[in-house]
Structure 1
Amino acid sequence: MTQLNELMRPDFTVPPKLTAGDRVAVVSPSFAAPGMFPAVHEASTRRLREDFGVEPVEYPTTRRLNATPQDRAADLMAAFADPTIRAVLASIGGDDQLTVLPFLDPRVIAANPKPFFGYSDNTNLLNWLWNLGIVSYHGGSTMVHLGRSGGLHPVSTGSLRAALFTGGNLDLHPVQEFSEDPLDWNDPASLDKQAPTLPAPEWIWHQPDQVVTAPTWGGNLEILHWNLAANRWIRPVEDYAGCVLLLETSEEMPSATEVFRMLRNAGERGLLAQFPAVLVGTAKASDLGRQPPLEERERYRDDQREAILRAFNHYNPTAMVVFNIDLGHTDPQWVLPYGGTVTVDGPARRITAHYCDKTAE
């Protein structure tokens, strides 16, 4: 099979935008949550139709629990190869997408670039597409933000619309409130409830003394660490030079010690030194069955921030780092270009996502 490095392009391709009525694939490359929580899945597909004006298309493994990596890869290949499918959206993350990648054919996907949306375990696919020079989008998994309890959030949907339809530039901003205590998807009544909200932590800027406009790379730290350990899908560190690093942690809430160790491993490889700017998602500090008091959550986020700064102070002391961005495992969530560019303007304390740089030919 063709190797990714044989197809790496010097410039990224932004797949074409969609128009009303287009068909979009809803796939489960990791955990088939739609099969376990069909009401949430059906709410998300209904909102794709009614609020976004697109037609969701399911695939054989979208709802099939414990589907093989080969079958999940086959659904991805079918979605990308189908000219009537204009975008591919992951239903949710999981923990084994790394096993799907060997069964993908890069030549087919490189010949049929289209926007892919996902985060968490979908960091695997985002990184795989980055290696092909195809811009994708970090965020936008259907179950979480389209099937969101209590309805859609304007931050999540506004950035998703920019990625899908309008392109252009979008200035990110801090939100006033956020949610991190999810409702139980096993309870049908949860679909109509609003998840409890908390005051959102403010953005924290570290060394905001430069302006960086560059392609993004990164994603979920735990998944990136697995990729580094597998040593199969990570490119030579010089290929990431000058990029903006997106960094966030999952609902498994790794300790500050573990966060530092994962970053230390990346630093020893020379990876951390490549990024002049880093955007760090608000660390999720609560989940079903594990909802600590507010002061413990604040301490968790403070400890994680200190661990990240400790790693960068050692391996890249000039990096500009911005904390508490609503990316990754956050609600609301900015859906951000992955391989597309963002501008991090430290002196102006401004972050701008650029959703259309180059149209696919």
Structure 2
Amino acid sequence: MIDRRAVLGGVGAMAAMSGLPGAAFAARLRKPPRLRLGDTVGLVAPASALTLPDELDRARYWIQAMGLVPKLGTHVTEQDGYLAGSDAARAADLNAMFADPEVRAIFAVRGGWGGARVLELLDWSAIRAHPKLLLGYSDTTALHLAIAARGGFPTIHGPNAASRWEKASWESLWRLAFTGEMPTLGGEAMEQEVGRPGRTITSGIARGRLLGGNLTILSTLMGTPWLPDFSGAVLFLEDVNEAEYRIDRMLQQLKLAGVLDGLAGAIFGQCTRCTGDEGDTVGFTLDQIIDHHLKPLGIPAFTGANIGHITNQLCLPSGVQVELNADARTLRVLEPLVD
């Protein structure tokens, strides 16, 4: 859990942590500004409605504990069916936050479903003109991928504002977004700390642009103009509440679309509650299904990373160059995420 006193008192110590070289890649992307203590950040609900009574209060609490000032989107508390207001209203909040000079970054309060519905309603010229960090995961994957394709700047795949911000989540956010470091994320020590062992699928080291997110959302964007080019990328995936055969089906969709064939490396994080009814898998475990699709590629790959619908999930620098070490099960960031 975030200790705000540690945040406010530990700036110097955290900033002193050494980064790793990767300046050769820095010119390839426009970079959003780094976060500073006291910055105003926008809270938006680009997908499902906020239905839990304390959801917005939790989001405010975590943002304030980070030393940031929350600014609510105009429509963040609205509801239209299972969505957080109409598509136009949710898009308007995103457009307003990107255009607002007071807002330094934008956090999705929660995921769910609905982000893909607003992509055609966003002001992409304004978004490109005002690169800002977007933070969130799950359904926010639609926005991360669209920004990678259309916005030209990196984002952060990590907890939503109302998620529980535990140690690994906060520390990775601090190093990526506040200090602009190039940390090494994951590895055996973290696996032991959180109690989630990883597994190397294919040994080796790969470098490429980090892209991905929720497998279900990525697959819904297949064949649309809202996906970036995955050629040479390091792909990361996670999911929740999907039976094994559905994971198989979605990975096969990526294969048939050519996404898997051009990758430099791949990581499958956590698939939470991904067990179907008896008989659904015809004897295939999730690990077997992942191996069916990733092993034949012959690229460095591992599974079990602290990514997904879990506590202590890592913040990942989506859209920047990274180095994947499949044997150590780590990601080394090769360029700063922020200016």
What is the number of residues matched between the two proteins?
Answer: 302
> By how many angstroms is 1:246 displaced?
0.8
**Deviating runs (4+, > 6 A) in structure 1?**
none
Does 2:268 match 1:280? yes
CA distance in 2 between counterparts of 1:14 and 1:202 reads 33
> By how many angstroms is 1:94 displaced?
1.4
Are the counterparts in 2 of residues 281 and 330 from structure 1 also a CA contact under 8 Å? no
Does 2:292 match 1:310? yes
Q: Deviations over 1:22-56 (max 9, x none)?
A: 100010000132xx22423213312322x211100
| Corresponding residue for residue 22 of structure 2 | none
Residue 67 (structure 2) aligned to one of 53, 61, 69: 53
Q: 1:38 to 1:161 in 2, by over 3 A?
A: farther
Which one-letter code corresponds to 1:205 in the other structure? T
Identity %: 27
Are the counterparts in 1 of residues 200 and 327 from structure 2 also a CA contact under 8 Å? no
Give the 5 Å matches for 1:216-231. 216-228=210-222, 231=224
Does 2:62 match 1:73? no
Q: Deviations over 1:66-86 (max 9, x none)?
A: 210111000000000011100
Residue 227 (structure 2) aligned to one of 215, 218, 234: 234
CA RMSD of aligned residues (A): 2.4
Secondary structure of 2:36's counterpart equals: coil
Give the 5 Å matches for 1:1-361. 11-33=28-50, 36-49=51-64, 51-66=65-80, 67-131=85-149, 132-146=151-165, 153-171=166-184, 172-173=186-187, 174-176=190-192, 178=194, 200-209=195-204, 211-228=205-222, 231-235=224-228, 239-250=229-240, 253-285=241-273, 303-314=285-296, 316=297, 318-354=298-334, 356=336, 359=339
> By how many angstroms is 1:354 displaced?
4.9
Q: Give structure 1 stretches of 5+ with no counterpart.
A: 1-9, 147-152, 179-199
Secondary structure of 1:205's counterpart equals: strand
CA distance in 2 between counterparts of 1:47 and 1:329 reads 18
CA distance in 2 between counterparts of 1:286 and 1:308 reads 12
Give the TM-score, by structure 2 length. 0.82
Are the counterparts in 2 of residues 256 and 307 from structure 1 also a CA contact under 8 Å? yes
CA distance in 2 between counterparts of 1:157 and 1:234 reads 28
Q: Give structure 2 stretches of 5+ with no counterpart.
A: 1-26
Are the counterparts in 1 of residues 207 and 324 from structure 2 also a CA contact under 8 Å? yes
Are the counterparts in 2 of residues 25 and 56 from structure 1 also a CA contact under 8 Å? yes
Give the TM-score, by structure 1 length. 0.78
> By how many angstroms is 1:341 displaced?
2.5
> By how many angstroms is 1:347 displaced?
4.9
